[in-house]
Amino acid sequence: MTRRNSIIICFLLAIGVAVLVLAGLIADGEDNDIVLNSNPGVLELIPNRGDEVIAQTNVGVVFSSTWTGEIVSIGDTQIPLDQQRVEPALNSVVFRPEAEKIIERLPAGNICASIVYWEVQTPSRRSSLSWCFRVIG
């Protein structure tokens, strides 16, 4: 291998490492969703606001430790409680589109979901939250 080839290979490796570092920095950027950042009851939306997802993606929410709730609707469809998967250990509620459920696959395009949630100690004081994402394919 010539010296010139060695320099070119080292240069390309350095560019590759720089791209990986830059991608890591971008992925660790700030979460600018002020609604979640200032919300004591909701830790995470599934999928995140503005995400692009496939038609079989789970839709739900992860609550803070002393909060709980349920999915009200996905798009224009009300989601029955018996079709929501409540995971007490994960403090989450999730709906997965599949055969025999009210939604077998999420419709393509922009779609919004809404939840109601409350602090476990005060279930009569409910709050609501909606977010939108894009279903591809």
pLDDT in tens, the chain (137 residues): 788 777 777 666 556 555 444 444 444 445 566 566 778 999 999 999 999 999 999 999 999 999 999 999 999 999 999 999 999 889 999 999 999 999 999 999 999 999 999 999 999 999 999 999 999 97
Tokens linked to 68: 């709980």
Q: What is the pTM of this model?
A: 0.73
- Measured over the CA atoms of residue 27, residue 109, residue 85 and residue 61, the dihedral's sign is positive
Tokens linked to 6: 């060695």
Q: Is the peptide bond before 80 cis (omega within 30 degrees of 0)?
A: no
